[in-house]
Amino acid sequence: MDFAGWELPVQYSGVLDEHRAVRSAAGLFDVSHMGEITIEGPGALAAVQQLVTNDCAKLADGQVLYTVACREDGGVLDDLLVYRRSAERFLLVVNAANSDKLATWVAAHTPRGLARDASADFAQIALQGPASRDILAGCPLLAAARPALAGLAFYHFVEFTLEGAPVILSRTGYTGELGYELYLPPALATPVAEALLAAGRPRGLKPAGLGARDTLRFEASYCLYGHELNEMTDPFEAGLFWLVKLDKGDFIGRDALRARKDDPRARRLVGLALPGRKIARQGFDVLAGDQVVGAVTSGSFAPTLERSVAMALIARQHAGATLAPLMVEVRGERLTAATVKLPFYSQPALRA
């Protein structure tokens, strides 16, 4: 299917088969559609600090930070990853749908010459699942990365060379499982993917597409831009309080976010469990009695949990101890929805 101008696979062997492979063994994803922006030179750290809500000053070389970039009014432009390569070299990894928007916005808000849209320099391959570390260690083509694997902590990365070209190996992910990403020149993407598949098939590795990527991230309750996040939503509404460091110093949107943090009119993101197998899709109304109090942002039948669940942005006063039972209107039928804690699925080994 077309996704932000990229031709991307929805599925290979089937969404459920790929989903289960990632939960039990591993899946290989081509995520080269993600955007990359470099900020390099004197003043790079100060520039990045102005752009995002989280505190990049706390990063060490080789560390990754999840954060958001906001408009002046606090609306979310994108959620992104910040890689600190050195005090004067940062890599921002942004969502494909926002890549051009973010590249233009970053250039407009950084000193001339610091920022560059480097998306064309990178392909990105994600290897996700409990067997991912063993598969990487057993891949002969990636032997140069092997010494760093055992000690590579969650949200950290290492750099090495492959056939004379620079490669970044990071340990983050979007599935709720142990996982890794490889940022590499596009010419190396095919041979590396083939080498990983050859090393991983005996361990249960399967190629996986957009369908499984979405069901996996949804079970782990990760936000998806265009669903839980957009320019009309602030990070507090999406439950991302921990990404906003109001005391770190000035950044774009800081004053608006300070005012919106405790706004009683704000919405809150909640998890909902529905009876049976009917699915609450994005945009379906959430009601308390006869009053519409919010809308579903993402919904699916969760394969691992074997139940229908949804995330929804609802009026703040209905997000805690609800004043009335919540219902979701699914194709004209009102289904009683139980509020459940997020994330729907968590794996302690993810951070081990």
Could you state, in order of their start, the residue ranges of all structural domains in the chain?
A: 2-217, 265-352
- Rounded CA separation 91/69 (Å): 14
Query: For the chain, how far is it from start to end, CA to CA, in angstroms?
Result: 35
- Rounded CA separation 141/194 (Å): 10
User: What is the pLDDT, as a whole number, of residue 265?
Assistant: 87
Contacts 24+ apart (CB under 8 A), 180-183: 180/126, 180/127, 180/128, 180/132, 180/133, 180/136, 181/31, 181/124, 181/125, 181/126, 181/127, 182/124, 182/125, 182/126, 182/127, 182/142, 183/36, 183/91, 183/122, 183/123, 183/124
| Per-residue pLDDT at 321 exceeds 70 | no
Average pLDDT, rounded, for the chain: 96
User: What is the pLDDT, as a whole number, of residue 248?
Assistant: 97
| CATH assignment, 2-217 | 3.30.1360.120
**2-217 and 265-352 agree in CATH topology:** no
| Per-residue pLDDT at 231 exceeds 80 | yes
> pLDDT by residue (tens digit) across 252-271?
999 999 999 989 889 999 99
Q: Is the domain defined by 265-352 classed in CATH 3.40.50.720?
A: no
Any idea of the CA torsion for 300, 126, 235, 331, to the nearest 10 degrees?
-20
Using N-to-C axis directions, what is the helix angle for 210-219 and 15-24, rounded to 10°? 50
Local confidence band at 223 (pLDDT 50, 70, 90 cut-offs): very high
Cα 41 from chain centroid (whole Å): 27
Predicted TM-score of the model (pTM): 0.97
| Per-residue pLDDT at 323 exceeds 90 | no
Query: What is the pLDDT averaged over residues 113-138?
Result: 98
| Per-residue pLDDT at 176 exceeds 80 | yes
User: What is the pLDDT, as a whole number, of residue 322?
Assistant: 55
User: What is the pLDDT, as a whole number, of residue 320?
Assistant: 73
